[in-house]
Amino acid sequence: MELGSVSTASKSSLALGLLSAFIVILLTTTFVRLSGAHAGALGASSAPPETYLPSISDIMIGTIQPRHERIWQAEQARDWDFAAYELGNLGGAFRRLGRAHPIEQNTSLPDMIESVTKQQLEDLKSAIDRKDDAEFGKAYDALSEACNSCHQALNHGTIVIGRPTGATQSDLIFGKAGR
């Protein structure tokens, strides 16, 4: 998600909106679970309560895209340990996405994700392990292009991923661990 042309106020509003949405989802999920437990205790219903399943978009915007961006920010700050940490989390988020949504548009999403990202994630890990800025940039761009190819294949070509530009609204402080 490229936000370079978006104002700082808009970025702050977006971040606040995402945080608010997360809190509403968390509270709603808790309420549904508590309501279901209460109804079960009264014998009113023996059906299990519905559980919340985040949409592909929820997982992409709330988990995958921020991790992808933080990998870039960590490398820019030369915080290779954090870049490696977020890369591991990004791989895990892709796997969870595939488990949550095994089929998308008659396509195996786990297979698609693996075929599109496996080599790029390995190349990015290698660049991070070697602390190689030039290889990191190539691998990061290749991963971004892999994401874009998946978006194209699933008719979401309007979503274009690239290198982050501008200042982040994150509260993360890079390069301070262990000090």
Nearest CA-CA partner of 145 in 111, 118, 116, 122: 116
pTM beyond cutoff 0.85: no
Q: To which H or E segment does residue 103 belong?
A: strand 103-104
Structural domain spans, the chain: 1-52, 54-164
* Helices and strands per DSSP (H, E), number in the chain: 6, 2
CATH topology of domain 54-164: Four Helix Bundle (Hemerythrin (Met), subunit A) (1.20.120)
**Backbone phi and psi for residue 174, each to the nearest 5 degrees, phi listed first:** -85, 150
The one-letter amino acid at 136: F
pLDDT tens-digit readout, 37-46: 555 555 556 7
- Residue 125 has a pLDDT of 98
Span 52-89, pLDDT tens digits: 999 999 999 999 999 999 999 999 999 999 999 999 99
Euclidean distance between CA atoms 168 and 75, whole angstroms: 14
